[in-house]
Copies of this chain bind each other. A is one copy, B any other.
């Protein structure tokens, strides 16, 4: 079965919009054990649209077309479909009523130009769009089933999930199982998993989103029960380097662990500058455990907000295990939290030295009775990459602490310079 996708629009082709719809659609197909044979992007030009549609329909069994359903003059998808089928466009009374209701609900007059969105090729099947003004539609050409979908990502995703994927003949496959590691290199993960014995028909996939690596297990559904053993083997092999299964969302994981233990968290951040707090607060319900954050970017702020002593800063420098400890302990003392996390480091591109190069970052996790701290040499080409890795590393300390696992990950991507426990 050949499935293709055609994205239309000058903004996509010229790169003003990154085509995340196409990537999302590819992922959804993979979940169903299917895949695109080809994806294309072309401009808003009627004759090109018609000829490329025809070309795709000759090759493919299923074609997903995205974009060009808006009310403006450069939205040409319906017209192109009509030319392709050699039929006129006709007013779809059902969708026109729908549009009028849509505008009435918003207490606005429907602009004339929107009538265009109810004009469909004669014989096309209307596909509902419950959250927007652009309906989809389906046609058949050269035995190819073609679905036209709106470009707005939320509308596209809903239409794809509810109207297109259920129509596709499913592959005979088990749901994809996912494992997430932190701090290991691709070759490190690969080497560890060499010893894995996979049943015939099953295969592994990797996705590197440094410093995390996602391991995916693909298999036909007949292998489902045999796979349980494989999953257990993967857990055993990765040990505590495995931080999560099924989802790699750090913030959701931390929230679940913190809420389960009814603990409250405070953060003290220097180089990450609020990124740690911001990532945690991204998840709704984070108020259940996130107590407060200190963005202590200057030495004065570290002293005044966290009580870090001037002598520590002078003697060891702001980027030191000692200051990280004092920051976490200060955050604990100056908050209502049970656990405090701190990050202080050199995110670059300037500020590095021979002794403490760019990427040197110190971390501490403090509770009333304990303090764990470490100094790492993070890799990453940019300031942003170093800050993001620093945040993930701090969260890796926290999940290890909350799960009572060994605190020091066997990272091979990241060099540990020093670790302390008191």
State in angstroms the CA–CA spacing of A25 and B272 once bound together.
Answer: 31
Interface size (A, Cβ < 8 Å)?
74
Does B272 lie within 8 Å of A278, measured CB to CB? yes
Does A278 lie within 8 Å of B278, measured CB to CB? yes
Which residue among A29, A276, A284 has the maximum number of chain B CB atoms within 10 Å of its CB?
A: A284
State in angstroms the CA–CA spacing of A128 and B261 once bound together.
Answer: 55
Q: Given A37-B43, A41-B39, A298-B292, A15–B25 Cβ distance below 8 Å?
A: yes
Is A95's beta carbon under 8 Å from chain B?
no
The 0/1 profile, CB within 8 Å of B marked 1, for residues 1-40 of chain A is 0000000001101111111101111111110000111111
The residue from B16, B30, B284, B305 contacting A15, defined by CB atoms under 8 A apart: B30
Cβ contacts under 8 Å, A269 to chain B: 274
State in angstroms the CA–CA spacing of A16 and B296 once bound together.
Answer: 36
Q: Give the copy number.
A: 2
Is A418's beta carbon under 8 Å from chain B?
no
Cβ contacts under 8 Å, A26 to chain B: 13-16
Does A291 lie within 8 Å of B287, measured CB to CB? no
Distance in Å from the Cβ of A76 to the closest Cβ of chain B? 16
Cβ contacts under 8 Å, A290 to chain B: 273, 297
In the assembled complex, 7 residue pairs joining A and B whose CB atoms fall closer than 8 Å, in A order, are A18-B23, A267-B274, A273-B274, A277-B278, A284-B349, A294-B294, A300-B336
Binding site for B on A (CB under 8 A): 10-11, 13-20, 22-30, 35-43, 48, 52, 154, 205, 207, 267, 269, 271-278, 280-282, 284-287, 290-298, 300-301, 304-305, 334-336, 347-350, 381, 383-384, 387
